[in-house]
Amino acid sequence: MSNRVCVAGVAGRMGRTLAKRLVDHPELNLTAATEQPGSAWIGRDLGELIGVGKLDICVSDGLSAVIEDCDTVIDFTRPEATLEHLSICLDSVKNLVVGTTGFTSAERQMIDQAAAKIGLVIASNFAIGVNAAFKLVEIAARILGPEAEVEIVEMHHNQKIDAPSGTALTLGEVVSQVRGSSLSDTASYGRHSEADKRKAGEIGIHSLRGGSVVGEHSVIFATSGERIEITHRAESRENFAEGALRACQWLRNQPHGIYTMSDVLDLEQFQ
């Protein structure tokens, strides 16, 4: 069964990577691409943008104009753009794969509600290795218990806007869920204090920015006399693209609802 794909925000770093991977994909067909109004690429051939020769796919300035040319939209843009795309997908009943991060609680609730009508996969990080790390962190948190002190350190390139990264927050949420607590109640961001020592049960989250780092995340479990570190380093955006395309394929055969990469990779089998 054909699965026609539109890449939203195709001129961005992830957008270009996704489009290139889709050109010769055996099961997914790249049929549309969008950019924000005013982009120099509007109306130009997508193949020129990604350096693969003419594709006869013109970059559109809005999803509404091309929504009927696709079955699934992949969106790695910004929250305001993603919510606009979500509304269009709802009206046309099209699946949506979301890699955008930085949503507020209210915005995330809007995404969750859309699952009553369309299929969505939403993840803070689509890299298959990072999702394996999520599972390893969950298992370690269970084994080590609440006595282990947890620190999360992440680093990204100097152009990344949100901090902490969505992946770092997800890692914190994984630990919090195991402990039956809320990250909002236990997180300490970029710790700075001259008077207070580390509080029991808190989760430290620290963000570093510099150079061209694609993405690096470490979760440190520290106990009296020993330390466990679980680290994932992304060396290419190809890893994120591979996971997003895998999610695209998987979602095509699912009923409407909201899913995560844990569902796509069937990670619940590993307990």
Q: Which residues span the domain enclosing 142?
A: 128-234
- As a whole number, mean pLDDT of residues 239-245 equals 94
CB 164 within 8 A of CB 215: no
Q: What is the torsional sign of CA 142, 143, 148, 153?
A: negative
Query: Do 41 and 147 fall into the same domain?
Result: no
Q: Which CATH number belongs to the domain containing residue 199 in this structure?
A: 3.30.360.10
pLDDT value for 191: 84
Residues 33, 56 contacting (CB under 8 angstroms):
no
Place 18 in a pLDDT band, splitting at 50, 70 and 90: very high
Confidence (pLDDT) at 222: 98
Assess whether 159 and 252 both reside in one domain: no
Nearest residue to 130 (alpha-carbon basis) of 39, 37, 253, 239: 239
Yes or no: say if 84 and 107 are a contact pair by the CB < 8 Å rule.
no
CATH number for the domain that contains residue 95: 3.40.50.720
pTM of the predicted protein model: 0.84
Q: What is the mean pLDDT of the chain?
A: 94
pLDDT of residue 1: 62
Distance CA(30)–CA(243), nearest Å, equals 16
Active site residues: 156, 160
pLDDT reading at 258 higher than 80: yes
Residue 106 CB-density burial (10 A; 0-12 exposed, 13-18 middle, 19+ buried): exposed
* Structural domains in the chain (count): 2
Tell me: do 13 and 115 sit in the same domain: yes
Residue 2 predicted with pLDDT over 80: no
Measured between alpha carbons, how far is 139 from 175 in angstroms, rounded to an integer? 9
Task: Find residue 120's DSSP bridge partners.
Answer: 96, 258
Q: What is the pLDDT of residues 136-172, one digit of tens each?
A: 999 999 999 999 999 999 999 999 988 999 999 999 9
DSSP state of 45: B
